[in-house]
A and B are shown apart, each in its own frame.
Chain A
């Protein structure tokens, strides 16, 4: 039983829950990206907590955190690229209106 680890992981879980709610409930693409960012930050928090309280001598864990940070930036870049393209062609990034791919 490591209380600090439990606290950090519980907060990670809470951030994950909020992010999941946001990503599913928002209608705007930018807000959905914000939800995904929250989920990813929860993942970051968990990784740092595991590194600190279980394996502080393994540096590869921190490298993985760096990679996830890069993924966050990439996710934002690509998401906003799509948002710009969609806004230009359709005039909005509301996901309720994006039904072109629906069968």
Chain B
């Protein structure tokens, strides 16, 4: 079980990283958004491998729609969404590479330096997990849950307000 889990984690992880790289390598913006979608789907599949069934399915479902919305905004706002002109859309490349590389190395150093010990405790079944999550959301963490709902509402209103077309004055 454990070896199979590790192998599946490596497989889906490699897929996630590969699609993540494709996002910034391709010239076609729609391809870029769909690559991000498949990267997130691979992350969702990793959740499923790690037996977080509800979260994995939720991630796979939410990302499909979020990244499709991303794709249409790409088409709306880019000069060359199909990537036919092979435009260069990057700046400060050296700095970004260094920042990304340093971030990666630092995170890896912390991960491999810290001594994660101990036997892995057993995981409750998927149905119990979903039930426990529901109790958590509507019990101890209800206030945070409500705050998140308010946050989404505020963001919806704010985004609509910002994006709405300014009305011409009649007079």
Q: Does chain A touch chain B in the assembled complex, meaning CB atoms less than 8 Å apart?
A: yes
Name A residues whose Cβ lies closer than 8 Å to a Cβ of B: 1-22, 24-31, 33-35, 37-38, 41, 44-45, 48-49, 51-57, 59-60, 62-63, 65-67, 69-74, 76-78, 80-85, 87-88, 92-93, 96
Residues in chain B within 8 A of chain A (CB atoms): 2, 5-6, 9-10, 13-14, 16-17, 20-21, 23-24, 29, 32-33, 36, 39-40, 43, 46-47, 50-52, 54-55, 58-59, 62, 66, 69-70, 73-74, 76-79, 89-93, 95-97, 99-101, 103-104, 107-108, 111-112, 115-118, 120-124, 129, 132-133, 135-137, 140-141, 144-145, 148, 151-152, 155-156, 158-163, 165
Main secondary structure of the interface of B (DSSP, over half): helix
- Closest Cβ of chain A: how far from B116's Cβ, in Å? 5
Contact A6 B69 (CB under 8 A): no
CB-CB < 8 A to B93: which residues of A?
Answer: 25
Compute the total of residue contacts between A and B using a CB distance below 8 Å.
241
| CB-CB nearest in chain A for B94 | A25
| Cβ–Cβ < 8 Å partners of B159 in chain A | 77-78, 80-81
Known: A24-B99, A41-B40. 20 other contacts (CB 8 A): A1-B115, A4-B6, A6-B116, A17-B101, A17-B103, A19-B20, A25-B90, A28-B78, A30-B29, A34-B70, A48-B46, A51-B52, A56-B122, A57-B124, A60-B141, A62-B55, A65-B55, A66-B55, A78-B162, A85-B162
Residue in B23, B79, B163 whose CB lies within 8 Å of A38: B23
Q: How far is the CB of A15 from chain B (nearest CB, A)?
A: 6
* Inter-chain contact B92/A30, CB cutoff 8 Å: no
